[in-house]
Structure 1
Amino acid sequence: MSRPLILGITGASGLIYAVRALKYLLQADYEIELVASKAVYMVWQAEQNIRMPSEPVQQESFWRQQAGVETSGKLICHPWSDVGATIASGSYRTLGMLVIPCSMSTVAKLATGLSSDLLERTADVQLKEGRKLVLVPRETPFSLIHLRNLTALAEAGARIVPAIPAWYHNPQTIEDLVDFVVARALDQLDIDCVQFDRWQGH
């Protein structure tokens, strides 16, 4: 039986990163357990003037519509407040967790062992179980506090993949820049489902 991958989405700006990651994962037929933080509702409204539904079934349709993938893969959405969900337990086996984009508030809470909602609890579980946790912070500039929190998480085993695109693959669109970051984040989970031109040397 295949294990699911947990996709955490926080209230950092740049929801396109989450949408593109979900698109490629579903197209590659992965099973995704998605949890969006409370702040994501406000970010959708601010960035796209879109209202994200709160009910899990409606959320599944919403995220599939945003990703443009109607049938491939398996998607289960969890309410941010449901700390009793399967993914909140270390006994529930997964491929790991990708938090994209990851806010500095979430980084701070994870670095200090706080878990006030399902997303934070689930990320904490990945660390305590020694599973893969990949964080894609989307903030600039980083303060010293941010850097210390990110360092603490790296020391605890998390992989930090800042949302910093490259240009050696000759990007032509915003999506090309976003996809580079998504691909590098998924590389940390040994998942290769994003088509982009990798560096081949001179």
Structure 2
Amino acid sequence: MAENVNGAVQNPPRRIIVGISGASGVIYGVRTLDALRELGVESHLVVSKAALLTLSQETDLSADDLTGRADVVHRLADVGATIASGSFKTLGMIVAPCSVRTMGEIATGVTTTLLTRAADVALKERRRLVLMVRETPLHLGHLRTLTALAEMGAVIAPPLPAFYARPDSIEAMVDQSVGRALDLFGLDWAPVTRWSGLKA
């Protein structure tokens, strides 16, 4: 919490930036937006051109269906957007899914779009940056890039199924991964199955 000039305590804004890049798994970004709406957290969305192509290949959703899930939508080329500045307060950013190209730009700090610029801002402001990286197998260059990102403060959170939750559908596996990623922001989303210990 912070105090304003009058000494009153202010709560940090409940808003999160959602980046959706062109890796397979666009549904992770879609469900992240759904979850934030359910949780009453303001979402700021920025989508890459490749992500829109993936959306058309992997789902029956239109671009309007996707953007309609966000509270605020930013154009990919709008480097003057609010989320491009550290003075615009957020809880952080999640990139779901995060492509190899996107993680590479973030790691080098040489950003070419609003998506990677916003991620760079999250790092420099020491805010939470969660990258749901989608790539396998990983070669040494990938691993070194991921190590560099972790050393800079990013959280690498590949969307992996939690089989102890006994998922009975792809949707359940997606929601578990999204919910665990949102745990990293202190957000508790109902669809997450929590580990309750070994059964007798």
The Cα of 1:63 is off from its aligned counterpart by 2.1
Partner of 2:88: 92
Secondary structure at 2:72 match in 1: strand
Structure 2 residue ranges without an equivalent (≥5): 1-10
Please report how far the alpha carbon of residue 51 of structure 1 lies from its aligned counterpart in structure 2 after TM superposition: 4.6
* Letter aligned with residue 94 of structure 2: L
Match of residue 192 from structure 1: 188
> What's the CA shift for 1:163?
1.4
| Alignment of 1:38 onto 2:41 | no
2:45–2:67 CA contact under 8 A, matched in 1: no
Q: Which amino acid aligns with 2:131?
A: L
> What is the CA deviation profile of residues 135-162 of structure 1, one whole-angstrom value per residue up to 9, with x for unaligned ones?
0001111111111111100000000101
User: Percent of aligned positions with the same letter in both sequences?
Assistant: 49
Instruction: Map 1:3-42 onto structure 2 (within 5 A).
Output: 3-42=14-53
Whole-angstrom distance in 2 between the partners of 1:93 and 1:181: 25
For 1:130 and 1:75, the matched residues in 2 are separated by 24
**8 Å CA contact retained: 1:24, 1:194:** no
Q: CA deviation at 1:64?
A: 6.2
Q: TM-score, normalised by structure 1?
A: 0.87
1:1-202 alignment, distance < 5 Å: 2-48=13-59, 51-52=62-63, 59=64, 62-63=65-66, 75-202=71-198
SS of equivalent to 2:123: helix
Which has the higher Rg, Structure 1 or Structure 2?
Answer: 2
Q: Which has the higher contact order (CA 8 A, sep 6+)?
A: 1
For residue 18 of structure 2, give the secondary structure of its aligned residue in structure 1: strand
Q: What is the CA–CA distance in structure 2 between the aligned matches of 1:184 and 1:91, rounded to whole Å? A: 28
User: 1:99 deviation in Å?
Assistant: 0.5
- How far apart, CA to CA, are the structure 2 residues paired with 1:25 and 1:154? 25
In 1, the alpha carbon distance for the partners of 2:121 and 2:19 equals: 13
Q: CA deviation at 1:195?
A: 2.1
Instruction: Describe the SS at the equivalent of 1:168.
Output: helix
